[in-house]
Amino acid sequence: MNSPKISICIPTYNRAKFIREAIDSVLKQTFRDFELIVVDNCSTDNTQEIVKAFDDGRLRYVCNERNLGVIGNYNKCISLARGDYICIIHSDDMLLPRFLEVQSAILDKNSDVGLVHSNCSYIDEQGVAFSQSIFPSTDYIKDGEEEMKDLVLDNHIVMSAAIVRKSCYDLLGGYNEKIPWVSDWEMWLRICLKWKIAYIGKVLCLYRRHQMSGTTGIINLNLAGMEEYKMFKEFWEYLLPEKKHLSYLEPIAIKQTAKRMLWRAWNTIQNGQTRLARRNIALGIAIDDSLLRDFRVYALFLLSLLGKPGLMIGRWGAKVLTFFKHKGN
């Protein structure tokens, strides 16, 4: 059996509500030389029934014998992939029809590009777009070290919108299961150390945001900031000697993580989660104690203590807090 050019992997767990749309978006691609592997992490809903209802020879369904965890399932996908390029799509996201055609052409023409990703639009639980695009519209191919300067400020690469050379995974290994909430971000940083990164400014992926999504969950649990900090500290600790000149980016990344925790605190205050807001503030200060010298931190903490009155004051004075705003999650 000939190997396909691209392996599209959909790791899934209890996403019966959305997985039909995800699979359908892949099967409607204009580029046809691909395999689609759905790796079910022991779902308890009717995911299997939905997947097996598709009649397409390019589709393989694999059900794990035990739940491997989110990142373990990503790595299982990679181990099953036979294509030169690999795309891992969340089972609640969707691809637009020319996604594979446009992005694979970049990898075909540029052997030094390890990863290509595209712009996205947010969609809600019903699949209705509520943003036209998330990122800028200008295409680029950047040296990995140049891309890293932006990437340490925020993870602007959406996993579902990215295609990675299989050779990258062969050399670097899989995703780090010790940092499950930011393992994709850490992988992109590792790829930047050895390859160029390409970006397509056209929207080619639909990224679903809903209450059941993993992104929403980690923000609510206050896990993202802690793992970001851990990831950055470990990443620079194990830099290869020839890459030590990049160490100057570490304090920049740490300060940006702290600032992001304060922006999350503002968001959680608006959602009425004042206790979580104070945890976010405390974590931001723990990461970067220079924030103790910024009066806006104390204003944010006071708003969290005041509850609904604080929220009203905060909304009225939201411009004061734009210092904390960041386009990341």
Sign of the Cα pseudo-torsion (195, 81, 56, 160, in order): negative
Please state, in angstroms and rounded to a whole number, the distance separating the CA atoms of residues 318 and 266: 9
Pull the structure tokens for residue 89: 């799509």
Nearest in space to 167 (alpha carbons), one of 102, 112, 117: 112
Residue 315 predicted with pLDDT over 90:
no
Residues 71 and 178 in one domain: yes
pLDDT recorded at residue 221: 53
Whether residues 80 and 182 fall in one domain: yes
**Which of 161, 187, 212 is where one domain is finished?**
212
Tokens representing 117 are: 């990703």
Say if residue 249 is in the same domain as residue 191. no
Do 112 and 244 lie in one domain? The reply is: no
pLDDT, residue 2, reads 79
- 65 with 156, same domain: the answer is yes
Question: pLDDT by residue (tens digit) across 94-140?
Answer: 999 999 999 999 999 999 999 999 999 999 988 888 888 899 999 99
Which of 115, 263, 130 shows the shortest CA–CA distance to 200?
Answer: 115
Does residue 281 form part of some domain?
yes
Boundary-marking domain end, from 183, 212, 241: 212
Please give the tally of structural domains in the chain: 2
Does residue 312 register a pLDDT over 80? Answer: no
pLDDT single digits (tens) 229-274? 999 999 998 888 889 999 999 999 999 999 989 888 888 887 788 8
Answer whether residue 145 shows pLDDT above 50: yes
> Residue 132 falls within a domain, yes or no?
yes
Q: What is the DSSP letter of 91?
A: T
Whether 8 and 26 have beta carbons less than 8 Å apart is answered as yes
Residue 293: domain span: 216-324
Return the pLDDT at 329. Answer: 44
Phi/psi for 207 (5° steps) reads -105, 115
Neighbours of 315 (CB within 10 A): 11
Beta strands in the chain (DSSP E): 6-12, 34-40, 59-63, 85-88, 94-95, 113-123, 140-142, 162-165, 196-208
Q: Of 182, 212, 242, which marks where a domain is finished?
A: 212
From CA 77, how far away is CA 174, in angstroms rounded? 10
Q: How confident is the model at residue 143 (pLDDT cuts 50, 70, 90)?
A: very high
**Same domain as 258, residue 191:** no
